[in-house]
Amino acid sequence: MRVELHNICKRFGSVQANDDVSLIVEAGSIHGLLGENGAGKSTLVKILSGFMTREQGSLQLEGHEVNIKTPADAMQRGIGMLHQDPLDFPPLSVLDNFMVGQPGGLFTHRREVIRKFRQLAVQFNFALDIRQPVGDLTVGERQQVEILRLLSLGVKTLILDEPTTGISASQKDALFAAARLLASQGKSVIFVSHKLEDVDELCDRVTVMRQGRVVGNLPIPAPDAQLIELIFGEELAPPAKNSTCQEGVALALENITIRSDRLNIQVNHLTVQQGEVIGLAGLEGSGQQLLLQLCAGLLQSSTGCLQIKGIDLTRQPYQTYLNTGVGYSPADRLREGLVNGLSIHEHVALKTSSQGWFVDWKGTLKQAQTAISLFNIRGKPDTKVERLSGGNQQRTQLALLPVPLNLLLMEHPTRGLDIGSTLWVWQQLLARCEGGTTILFTSSDLDEIMQYSDRVIVFSGGELSEPIDAKKLTVERLGQMIGGKLHYDSPVMAKRSTKHPAKR
């Protein structure tokens, strides 16, 4: 089915997620939608599938103007979407999941449904046990159930939102084969991804988005360099930081394994100097946060060892990490960083209450006032933290970090901050580095990573690169690595990596 979106606009608060976006997908084709995290790809397809409502713009199917307001509208017109996080019912069986929302009479005619399911599953070569709860399946298998369900409903346009994250290579092959089969039947497929190689392999055409706008529309194959330039912009800010590295190893990781629901992370060997700043680049959810949480003592590795300032902290409790001078500042300030409903003063008191039953309110008030003036927080001691602006919440969070620190772990230190606050925050952080604090931080802003890091580690799908000197990075190289080609080697790197095993 030919799908046209014209001049779509959608705003979330102060963020313009889609700004006058237009997209045309031909029938019988696989159309890639490429871009960084937060480029607006998901928003656009969610509008097409009725999951979100648009503020402006129009939709046309087969040349006819349509109005899609709910997923039911979209389904009825043959548009189905496979969501990035499986939207299914974990305790229900594969068969039940397949049946939920199927039209028909009052009773579910199981036998007939099973026949239909098997028929479709065979056609696409999916091996699924209909009685198993989907909660026990892998992400890839859950996608397969969902795809079969959408097809059974007569979908003519299938949207795949980041489908290759967290699935195995063979599942990916099966998925791509299914997409090609659908295209050959005259259906259209919209493939949303941040992975260059997947788009290269599968799509006929690609539309690139950046910061809520369409920045390019090319036939595939297209040169990688051109695509990367479109995704990330033309140039990165040059590294601006003077090295603050000092003698002495602050953090050493050896043979670490971190497991989470979707990712397995393996760090063979990593050492970080005192005073060094390491930027963790990559799309969100590629494992950066897991590494920070491991270093903070919130996650434990099943193997290997972790040392901070030469002290072995492997499998030690969180309290020991705190005593060793580790600070962690999470991205979600109001959920993990600060306590909703408490004032700045109460936060200071929380931090200092260590001895005795009673809070020394007079003493903590003084401390709170000092913190407010020192960190330039726009608020009073009795201002509740949720009343503060994002920037001031970040300042409060910084004010609450203990001094001195050996290791500071920060997620998105300047997300949602204006330029002034950003500069101020980094001034504070770099001052800490001068004093010997090591910083590991994540950011979705590549400029920020380039500007403030000594070395950069790139994450992609749970794999991480060797730390790379920020001065040696280029847009192209970063783009390639973030897009999944972690071992893309410039000639200089190639020499290095051959040297590396010899060193061991």
Q: List the one residue out of 198, 278, 275 whose CA is nearest residue 464.
A: 278
Residues 384 and 344: their CA atoms lie apart, in Å, by 6
Residues 251 and 245: their CA atoms lie apart, in Å, by 13
CA distance to 269, 492, 494, per residue, from 497 (Å): 14, 9, 5
Q: Which of residues 91 and 154 has its CB atom nearest to other proteins in the complex?
A: 91
Give yes or no for residue 341 binding other proteins (CB under 8 A). no
Give yes or no for residue 99 binding other proteins (CB under 8 A). yes
Residues 388 and 419: their CA atoms lie apart, in Å, by 17
How many other β-carbons are positioned within 10 Å of the β-carbon of residue 237? 13
Omega before 221 within 30 of 0, i.e. cis: yes
Concatenated DSSP letters for 25-54? E-TT-EEEEEE-TTSSHHHHHHHHTTSS--
Determine which residue in the list 36, 96, 229, 454 makes contact with other proteins, applying CB under 8 A.
96
Q: Which of residues 100 and 359 has its CB atom nearest to other proteins in the complex?
A: 100
Determine which residue in the list 56, 67, 70, 264 makes contact with other proteins, applying CB under 8 A.
70
Determine which residue in the list 15, 87, 177, 240 makes contact with other proteins, applying CB under 8 A.
87
Q: Which of residues 55 and 312 has its CB atom nearest to other proteins in the complex?
A: 55
Restricted to residues 102-121, the positions that interact with other proteins (CB under 8 A) are 102, 104-108
Minimum CB separation of residue 108 from other proteins in Å reads: 6
* Tokens linked to 445: 């802003």
Q: Which of residues 102 and 264 has its CB atom nearest to other proteins in the complex?
A: 102
Give yes or no for residue 13 binding other proteins (CB under 8 A). no
Q: What is the total count of residues that contact other proteins (CB under 8 A)?
A: 26
Q: Which of residues 49 and 393 has its CB atom nearest to other proteins in the complex?
A: 49
Residue recorded with tokens 């730390």? 467
Determine which residue in the list 15, 90, 240, 495 makes contact with other proteins, applying CB under 8 A.
90
Determine which residue in the list 8, 30, 34, 51 makes contact with other proteins, applying CB under 8 A.
51
CA distance to 11, 164, 189, 283, 499, per residue, from 160 (Å): 23, 9, 7, 18, 41
Choose the stretch contacting other proteins; rule: CB under 8 A; options: 84-92, 207-215, 464-472, 493-501: 84-92
Minimum CB separation of residue 84 from other proteins in Å reads: 12
Given the rule CB under 8 A, which residues bind other proteins?
49, 51-53, 70-72, 75, 81, 83, 87-92, 96, 99-102, 104-108
